[in-house]
Amino acid sequence: MELIYHGHSCVQIVTGDRSLIIDPFLRGNELAVTDPRDIKTDAVLLTHAHADHISDADLVASANDAPVVANFELASYMSWKGVKTIGMNLGGTIDLGFAKAKMIQAFHSSGIVLEEEKRILYGGMPGGYIVQAEGFTILHTGDTCLFSDMKLIGERYAIDVAFIPIGDHYTMGPEDALQAAEWYGAKLVVPVHYNTFSVIRQDAEKFVHMLEERGLKGRVMKPGDKLKLEAGA
What is the predicted pLDDT for the residue at 210?
A: 98
- In this predicted model, what pLDDT tens digit does every residue of 194-226 receive, in sequence order? 999 999 999 999 999 999 999 999 999 999 999
Cβ partners under 8 Å of residue 215, min gap 6: none
* pLDDT > 70: percent of the chain: 99
- Set out the domains of the chain in order of their start, with CATH numbers: 2-226 (3.60.15.10)
Q: What is the model's pLDDT at position 151?
A: 98
Average of per-residue pLDDT across 62-73: 98
Q: Is 203 exposed, middle or buried (0-12, 13-18, 19+ CB in 10 A)?
A: middle
Give the pLDDT of residue 231. Answer: 84
Residues 6+ apart with CB under 8 A from 128: 47, 103, 104, 105, 106, 139, 140, 141, 142, 144
Q: Is 101 helix (H, G, I), strand (E, B) or coil?
A: strand
> What percentage of residues in the chain have a pLDDT greater than 90?
99
Q: State the average pLDDT over residues 132-157.
A: 98
Phi/psi of residue 48, nearest 5 degrees: -165, 180
Per-residue CA distances from 110 to 86, 107, 142, 157, 180 (Å) = 18, 10, 11, 26, 21
| Band of pLDDT at residue 233, cut at 50, 70 and 90 | low
